[in-house]
Amino acid sequence: MTTGFANPAPLGLAGFGMTTILLNVCNAGFLPLNSSVLAMGLIFGGSAQMIAGVLEYPKGNTFGLTAFTSFGAFWIALCMLIFLPKFGLVAPASPVAMAVFLGIWGVFTAFMFIGTLKGNAVFKFVFGSLIVLFALLVVGEATGEVLVTRIAGYEGLLCGASALYLAMAEVLEEQFGRPVLPIGKPAEAAPTVTLTPVRAA
């Protein structure tokens, strides 16, 4: 009987990746923003990611806890920014307010990126490309330039796809007991050799 904890990271990565892909299909201009994005954002990108984050707690993974619960909350907050004005509860966020909202998340992501530097190459790419995505979205909101938002959409598709790829790589590795999809794992550090001087008898 297995007594160890399952790895919740693939759930969080898949929730983030698939929701990011779906939203950026809209940002890239292939589809208009619709209820499928909001439903995915609330349930998979939001709730499932937060569950994955909480499951990182008993494993002692502070980074996973912080990343998944935070980005889960991001997706829920993003959906609420759309829902709340529809119900007449609050005025819609202005483009400047949205730029500030996205900019704060970009700063948060930049700090989290530092924590990925000891990880595999795909992990670093996910967070690095997410920083670029937030930066493009901020510029798009602040300037109103549709072209910038379209470019952000294509970049976001790449970011989301990389997160989903990493999720599947981790699932398959656990299922088969060996790496199946390459993720650019960091080289293991060479063991430290301590030289002890030999004393004469």
List, for residues 153-173, the tens digit of each pLDDT value: 999 999 999 999 999 999 999
Mean pLDDT of 116-130: 97
Return the higher-pLDDT residue of 78 and 187.
78
Question: What pLDDT does 187 receive?
Answer: 63
Residue 45: exposure state from Cβ atoms within 10 A (0-12, 13-18, ≥19): buried
Confidence of residue 132 (pLDDT cuts 50, 70, 90): very high
Task: Count Cα neighbours of 173 within 13 Å in the Cβ-side half-sphere.
Answer: 15
Q: Where are the domains of the chain?
A: 9-176
- Report the pLDDT value the prediction gives residue 188, as an integer from 0 to 100: 61
Kindly report the average pLDDT of the chain as a whole number. Answer: 91
Confidence of residue 199 (pLDDT cuts 50, 70, 90): low
45: closest CA among 174, 181, 167? 167
Comparing 95 with 188, which gets the higher pLDDT?
Answer: 95
What band does 40 get if pLDDT is binned at 50, 70 and 90?
Answer: very high
131 pLDDT more than 80: yes
Question: What span, in angstroms and rounded, lies between the C-alpha atoms of 4 and 16?
Answer: 25
Query: Mean pLDDT over residues 67-93, rounded?
Result: 93
pLDDT of residue 194: 44
**CATH no., domain 9-176:** 1.25.40
Nearest residue to 137 (alpha-carbon basis) of 127, 150, 126: 150
Poorest-pLDDT segment among 35-44, 58-67, 80-89: 80-89
Q: Binning pLDDT at 50, 70 and 90, where does residue 87 land?
A: confident
